[in-house]
């Protein structure tokens, strides 16, 4: 397939990876999400469409053939069983997010789980060198993408600020080198050291990133769930949206999202989602949030310290645009970030099965 690049007036080729099956190619059509973020709305099915109504008044109508996922981002939303059944039969997940971005439930057909062989090999990989390689790859991808985002953000800063950044970037590179040299034969032997390195790198990354913001913010530093400041709330909500995409990619690749390698097993904890998401936090969520802040977009909290509905809606739209419209160099071609995410899940599945006889390589964004 070819398309015109409006920025340079050139035609570039965008190939569909032959590894992706028809089902996944269909999912990778232009991004179309149904976002329902208001109390009291009703989602129903009418013919070949999903309808969103409020007290009987039609607010929105989306063709099912063009729909990729449904994001329910408010309480008090109801769904018809016909809408749920139709989404399940078409492989359209329905994700439920709370006000902080935590995904507390997902509706998805259990028949979209791929082959038994993939899951068997995924579980076996945890006990041998495959699990160790994957653990290092996920952490390495995260650190190098942190480095590349800092380099990207620092390009437009003054010489003095760039000089201050150099030592911090060198320290991050040293941590990535230490990670690559960790000895062992399985991930259990190095998990503590691996998580320690990853944690130190993350702490340094956030300290450096704060210094590259172009606006004054009341940001106390990185905090996870439960944070009540604007900046952390944006990141937490953004990661929740990205979580839905990673989970769907893993399921379509035939992998078990609850059987991870670095993040430890716990009932109800989708460990593999937390593993794979590490490669994509910086290029998708962090870059989007930093850009929105630096552009001084209207981003606000309500009186309870939660993102307002308008802010949540704007953030979701910007993230989904970045996923579907932003392109990165990937395996010799320019591909959308969404395509790359689904391809990485497929590569992960083929790696644990041993189909390609190749290592798993994390996705690294450009800068």
pLDDT digit string, tens, across residues 291-335: 999 999 999 999 888 999 899 999 999 999 999 889 999 988 999
Residue 363: which of 257, 284, 251, 290 has the closest Cα?
284
Q: Which of 104-108, 191-195, 337-341 has the lowest mean pLDDT?
A: 104-108
Residue 292: which of 228, 366, 363, 233 has the closest Cα?
233
DSSP string, 249-301: HHHHTT--TT--SSSPP-TT--HHHHHHGGGTIIIIIIHHHHHHHHTT----B
Q: At what angle do helices 337-353 and 230-252 cross, to 10 degrees?
A: 50
Cα–Cα distances (Å) from 139 to 193, 263, 278, 283, in that order, read 11, 11, 7, 15
Whether the pTM exceeds 0.75: the reply is: yes
The length of the chain is 367
CA distance 292 to 258: 33
Mean pLDDT to the nearest integer, 250-278? 89
CA angle 65/34/142 to nearest 5° reads 105
Is pLDDT of 363 > 90?
A: yes
Burial of 247 (0-12, 13-18, 19+ CB in 10 A): buried
Tens-digit pLDDT profile for residues 74-116 = 889 999 999 999 988 888 889 898 877 788 888 877 665 556 8
Domain segments of the chain as ranges: 17-107, 123-353
Which CATH homologous superfamily contains domain 123-353?
CRISPR-associated endonuclease Cas1, C-terminal domain (1.20.120.920)
Is pLDDT of 20 > 90?
A: no
Is pLDDT of 138 > 90?
A: yes
Q: Tell me, what DSSP letter sits at residue 355?
A: S
- Say if 17-107 and 123-353 have the same CATH topology: no
Q: Are 19 and 350 in contact (CB under 8 A)?
A: yes
Tens-digit pLDDT profile for residues 166-192 = 888 999 999 999 999 999 899 999 999
* Alpha-carbon Rg for the chain in angstroms: 21
CA distance 116 to 312: 38
CA distance 264 to 47: 44
- End-to-end CA separation in angstroms for the chain: 26
Which CATH homologous superfamily contains domain 17-107?
CRISPR-associated endonuclease Cas1, N-terminal domain (3.100.10.20)
């Amino acid at each position: 397939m070819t398309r015109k690049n409006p920025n340079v007036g050139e035609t570039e080729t965008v190939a569909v990876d032959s590894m992706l099956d028809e089902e996944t190619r269909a999912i990778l059509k232009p991004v179309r999400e149904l976002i329902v973020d208001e109390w009291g709305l009703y989602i129903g099915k009418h013919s070949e469409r999903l309808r969103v109504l409020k007290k009987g008044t039609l607010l929105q109508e989306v063709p099912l053939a063009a729909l990729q996922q449904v994001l329910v981002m408010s309480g008090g939303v109801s769904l018809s069983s016909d809408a749920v059944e139709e989404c399940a039969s078409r492989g359209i997940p329905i994700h439920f997010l709370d006000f902080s971005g935590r995904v507390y439930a997902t509706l998805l057909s259990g028949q979209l789980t791929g082959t038994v062989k993939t899951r068997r090999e995924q579980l076996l990989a945890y006990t041998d060198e495959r699990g160790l390689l994957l653990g290092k790859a996920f952490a390495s991808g995260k650190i190098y993408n942190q480095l590349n985002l800092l380099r990207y953000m620092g390009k437009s800063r003054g010489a003095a600020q760039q000089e201050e950044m150099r030592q911090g970037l060198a320290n991050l590179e040293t941590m990535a080198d230490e990670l690559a040299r960790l000895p062992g034969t399985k991930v259990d032997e190095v998990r503590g050291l691996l998580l320690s390195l990853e944690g130190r790198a993350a702490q340094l990354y956030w300290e450096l990133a704060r210094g590259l913001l172009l606006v004054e913010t009341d940001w106390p530093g990185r905090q996870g769930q439960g944070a009540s400041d604007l900046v952390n709330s944006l990141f937490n909500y953004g990661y929740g949206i990205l979580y839905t995409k990673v989970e769907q990619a893993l399921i379509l690749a035939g992998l078990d999202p609850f059987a991870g390698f670095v993040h430890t097993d716990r009932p109800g904890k989708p460990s593999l989602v937390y593993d794979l998401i590490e490669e994509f936090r910086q290029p998708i969520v962090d870059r989007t949030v930093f850009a929105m802040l630096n552009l001084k977009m209207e981003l606000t909290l309500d009186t309870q310290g939660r993102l307002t509905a308008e802010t949540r809606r704007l953030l979701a739209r910007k993230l989904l645009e970045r996923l579907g419209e932003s392109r990165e160099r990937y395996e010799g071609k320019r591909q959308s970030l969404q395509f790359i995410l689904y391809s990485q899940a497929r590569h992960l599945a083929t790696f644990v099965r041993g189909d390609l006889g190749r290592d798993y390589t994390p996705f690294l964004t450009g800068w």
